Amino acid sequence: MAKTALITGGGRGIGRAIALAFAREGIRIAVAARTAEQVEQVAAEIGNNSIALVCDVSDPQSVAGMFGKLPEIDILVNNAGIAESATLVNTTDELWHRHLSINLSGTFYCTRAALPAMLKKGWGRVINIASIAGKTGAPYIAAYSASKHGVLGLTRSIALEVAMSGITVNAICPGFVDTEMTSRGVERITSRTGRTAEEALNTLKTMSPQNRLVTSEEVAALALLLASDEGRGINGQGINIDGGSVLF
């Protein structure tokens, strides 16, 4: 029987790329996000009875409602997330809690909801989209970096808890990816520094020894390995895909 995968934040960027890659392997796809139009477009693009759902992962009731509309999930990709920047003294309570509630608590709520079916089947994959910011800090992203550090700690703890149950739990840690989120980062740099968009983009590219942005398809290829039977020996890891900018 074909596996079923749920990808949160599945309406664009990395989430969309993972959904498409999984679908090409015959996996049934459910995509969820806060914006109905985006996930409906992805589900229509995939076809094959794909499911589009609206969910706010920071709200446990919304998560419970989403899982109530789904078949049992074999593969969970926790991709929903936000990235905003501010100096620490200008980081408001709202900005701080927004990052923790979406990036970290959202990963917790969805994983907690998905695990019982995986444990019953004796097979499952949880793939958390973290960030190299979850391994190292950077100026102006204290809330984002703290939330992604939390995702790595959560990943490692759950991975050990379910290691004997046929389930693996891993995190992918991308650098700057060629997505809309990075484009918004370029806009922020431009507005704050007066540099051109090209100059701002080149600044982000040079953070990688390969002098380029990672593609969503590269992240999707790694997610596909982690979701496979061949990837069953990979557990509790935070795997970088950043051109070598962070070497641990």
Task: Judge contact between 172 and 224, C-beta under 8 A.
Answer: no
Question: If 0-12 CB within 10 Å is exposed, 13-18 middle and 19+ buried, where does residue 146 land?
Answer: middle
| Angstrom distance (rounded) from CA 158 to CA 224 | 20
Question: If 0-12 CB within 10 Å is exposed, 13-18 middle and 19+ buried, where does residue 30 land?
Answer: buried
- Which residues are designated catalytic? 144
| Strand 28-33 with 51-54, pairing | parallel
| Angstrom distance (rounded) from CA 78 to CA 100 | 14
